């Protein structure tokens, strides 16, 4: 059963060998951005990747990033990306958690294949708790939520390595 955790009770899953700096580009070329570098909202309104659009991806099992791997993402402020309520019909995505629990965990799903995920590949982020997918509303230039039941264009992101 998934639940949100208080910072004091959270287990932080980090394997430094599995960490990567990444950006996520939407279907229409916008970048996922932690507004102000983190501590609050996430949107998809940046046209190029800067510090606010660069996340540390922590592959929770270490090694190469593979389709199906569970990950955490942190923004430049060190806050964790979170699907509020664990994902669902009213779930928004923020980057405001100081520790990682179930709501801050996502599965990376490689689009159009399986195996290792490389820079330039298309992927989707699926919530660990509910199986809902992260979406850049309108394909970008707007809000980012976690309320879709399957990945289509707006739920697909290009994995941009740094």
| Pairwise CA distance, residues 139 & 136, whole Å | 5
Please give the pLDDT value at position 161.
87
pTM: 0.91
Please give the pLDDT value at position 6.
45
Q: CA torsion 85→102→146→113, rounded to 10°?
A: -160
User: Looking up tokens 């800067």, which residue turns up?
Assistant: 50
User: Between the CA of residue 36 and those of 13, 77, 94, what are the distances in Å?
Assistant: 25, 9, 12
| Pairwise CA distance, residues 72 & 137, whole Å | 21
User: Between the CA of residue 46 and those of 13, 74, 83, 135, 152, what are the distances in Å?
Assistant: 29, 18, 20, 15, 21
| Pairwise CA distance, residues 126 & 120, whole Å | 19
Sign for the pseudo-dihedral over CA of 152, 111, 57, 47: negative
pLDDT in tens, the chain (162 residues): 566 554 434 333 334 455 789 999 999 999 999 999 999 999 999 999 999 999 999 999 988 999 999 999 999 999 999 999 999 999 999 999 999 999 999 999 999 989 999 999 999 999 999 999 999 999 999 999 999 999 999 999 999 988
| Pairwise CA distance, residues 46 & 24, whole Å | 11
| Pairwise CA distance, residues 106 & 133, whole Å | 9
How many angstroms from the chain centroid is the CA of residue 80?
9
């Amino acid at each position: 059963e998934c639940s949100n955790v208080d910072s004091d009770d959270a287990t932080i899953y980090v394997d430094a060998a599995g960490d990567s700096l990444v950006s996520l580009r939407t279907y229409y070329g916008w970048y996922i951005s932690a507004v102000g570098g983190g501590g609050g909202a996430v949107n998809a309104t940046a046209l190029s990747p800067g510090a606010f659009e660069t996340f540390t991806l922590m592959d929770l099992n270490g090694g190469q990033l593979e389709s199906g791997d569970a990950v955490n993402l942190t923004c430049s402020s060190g806050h964790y990306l979170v699907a509020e309520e664990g994902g669902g019909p009213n779930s928004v995505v923020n980057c405001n958690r100081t520790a990682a629990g179930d709501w801050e965990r996502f599965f990376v799903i490689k689009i159009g294949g399986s195996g290792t995920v490389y820079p330039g590949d298309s992927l989707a982020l699926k919530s660990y708790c509910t199986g809902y997918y992260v979406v850049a509303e309108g394909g970008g230039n707007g809000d980012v939520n976690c309320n879709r039941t399957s990945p289509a264009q707006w739920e697909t992101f290009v994995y941009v390595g740094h």
